[in-house]
Amino acid sequence: MKHDSLISHFLAQTDAVGLVLAALLLLMSLASWYLILAKGWQWLQLRQRGRAFQQQFWQAASLDSVAQQLSGQQLVDPFSRLAWQSLLVRRQHALIEPARLETAGSMAEVLTRQMQRTIDDETTRLENGLTLLASVAAVAPFVGLFGTVWGVYHALTAIGSSGVAGLEQIAGPVGEALIMTAFGLAVAIPALLAYNACTRGNRVLLARLDRFAHQLFHFLTTGQNTATSREA
């Protein structure tokens, strides 16, 4: 018996509970694959845009030119948003406080808090959807197992009521019921792999963002550029 005919026969013979479980696994699969493709594309875009922005930032003529350019465009990557928020804090503090040594420390503290808030916001933004991937990876095998147990129960009940308990009568229905377990694993494995890949990708991106934040903080507070072309 072919796999497609086996699945169609299982769906035709199962009851409402089995159909609900199969539909639930199908929805989990569609949602996880949507997130897999969306997160993969998002990570590639953020990586390319982050590198381009860092090169553009450190090659700019002045901070005023960078601020003017950022104010007229949509900020679509964590690095540009971090730079824009930091420049806003620096400008606002310069307007409020006179430029003297006793206020330098307070500006550094305000800048540190703003950078930390921005990094926390970017972390939350990058983690959107990962909870669903983790939930699908954890729940899908149990949903499939429950479907298998339910199918085996109904198969054995039907065999018991018919009074025929040969190997051929048992192997077919039980084998069809095991499809739900395979379906659950097929849904869970890609979601688990994608969750691990997204977690590592976010960790790498946030490490680069944190390094850029340290370089930017040092430049805004001391005027010295510690970035290199390799780091950008």
Q: Which residues neighbour 229 within 8 Å (Cβ) at sequence distance 6 or greater?
A: 55
Chain segment 110-126, per-residue pLDDT in tens: 888 889 999 999 999 99
Chain segment 174-189, per-residue pLDDT in tens: 666 788 888 899 999 9
In a domain, residue 232? The reply is no
In a domain, residue 205? The reply is yes
In a domain, residue 228? The reply is no
In a domain, residue 230? The reply is no
Name the pTM for this structure: 0.79
Instruction: Identify whether the C-beta of residue 134 lies closer than 8 Å to the C-beta of residue 177.
Output: no
Chain segment 117-161, per-residue pLDDT in tens: 999 999 999 999 899 999 999 999 999 998 888 877 777 776 666
Q: Tell me the residue range of the domain where 46 lies.
A: 3-222
Whole-number average pLDDT of the chain: 82
Nearest residue to 27 (alpha-carbon basis) of 182, 144, 136: 136
Chain segment 30-48, per-residue pLDDT in tens: 999 999 999 999 999 998 9
Q: Domain tally for the chain?
A: 1
**How many other C-beta atoms lie within 10 A of the C-beta of residue 40?**
14
Lowest-confidence region among 33-37, 49-53, 73-77, 161-165: 161-165
Lowest-confidence region among 31-35, 61-65, 101-105, 215-219: 101-105
**pLDDT of res. 232:** 44
Q: pLDDT: is 198 or 225 the higher one? A: 198
**pLDDT-derived band at 229, boundaries 50, 70, 90:** very low
